[in-house]
Structure 1
Amino acid sequence: MRDAPRVDLDEDVEGEVMLIKMEEPSCYLEAVGQQVWEDAMAKEIESIEKNNIWTLTALSAGHKPIGLKWVYKLKKNSDGYVIKPKARLVAKGYVQRQGINFEEVFAPMARLDTVRVILAVAANRG
């Protein structure tokens, strides 16, 4: 785990702002212990529980559980300033190898047109 660099400020400096470069953790072990990332993870868990994303069940015999991975991202505005840190808990329902799509995260999304067509067909068929 990387330690944050220590920054000593002069006591006579008032009203000045110092910008410190913040990096995105690549894994949970790098994020844990940093309050800003722990807050982002807590917010994600709170959102998951609020929206009833999953239900804890017993694993059927002969099946392996799907692992989870935390993904960290600094959300920035159009000027490049950090707006807020985001943490997402994603399911690892895939097999990846180092060097081949290892750093990529996929989040499939349905286009709004597709959703409209499906709803229209469903309404038409009752």
Structure 2
Amino acid sequence: MEHCLLSAEEPADIVEALDSASWKQAMDAEMDAIVESGTWQLTPLPCGHKPIGLKWVYKVKRDPDGNIVKHKARLVAKGYAQRKGVDFEEVFAPVARMETVRLFLALAAHSGWE
């Protein structure tokens, strides 16, 4: 029951979010961060290609007492709509070997890093 009450303050879609100044501000902050970090650049869409859709994801951040401390909005790509062989050729997920992780942990412990 508590989860239902807490998540009720998060908008279901962009139309609902645009009715709130707090959510508009969170969306503006996300767009500013995207532009500032150079996350993407506008490019012409090649003929015969479809762009990947975008979706806003909303989350209310709370303190330990349950009070709202921040409205967080994230703009995410709908990567699940991509098709192998059409939109991409291969998938790559970089994973560190366990020996490498252990080496860095040992170096951090030895050097007193935090």
Query: Shorter-chain TM-score: what band?
Result: 0.5 to 0.7
Residue identity opposite 1:71 in structure 2: V
Q: How do 1:1-126 residues align onto structure 2 when only pairs under 5 Å count? A: 23-95=9-81, 114=96, 117=100
**Alignment RMSD, CA only?**
2.7
Q: 1:59-104 deviations in whole A, cap 9, x for unaligned?
A: 1122110111111100112232211000000111214xxxxxxxxx
Letter in 2 for 1:58: P
How far is the alpha carbon of 1:40 from its aligned partner?
A: 0.4
Aligned identity (percent) is 49
| Other structure's SS at 1:66 match | coil
Write the distance in 2 (CA, Å) between the matches of 1:60 and 1:24: 36
Q: Secondary structure at the match of 1:74?
A: strand
1:83–1:27 Cα change, 3 Å: same
Gaps of 5+ in 2: 1-7, 82-92, 101-114
TM-score, length-scaled by structure 2: 0.62
Aligned pair in 2 of structure 1 residues 110, 73: CA closer, same or farther (>3 Å)? Answer: farther
Q: CA deviation at 1:110?
A: 7.1
* Inter-partner Cα distance in structure 1 for 2:78 and 2:41: 17
Listed as ranges, the gaps of 5+ residues in structure 1 are 1-21, 96-108, 118-126
* Number of the residue aligned with 2:108: none
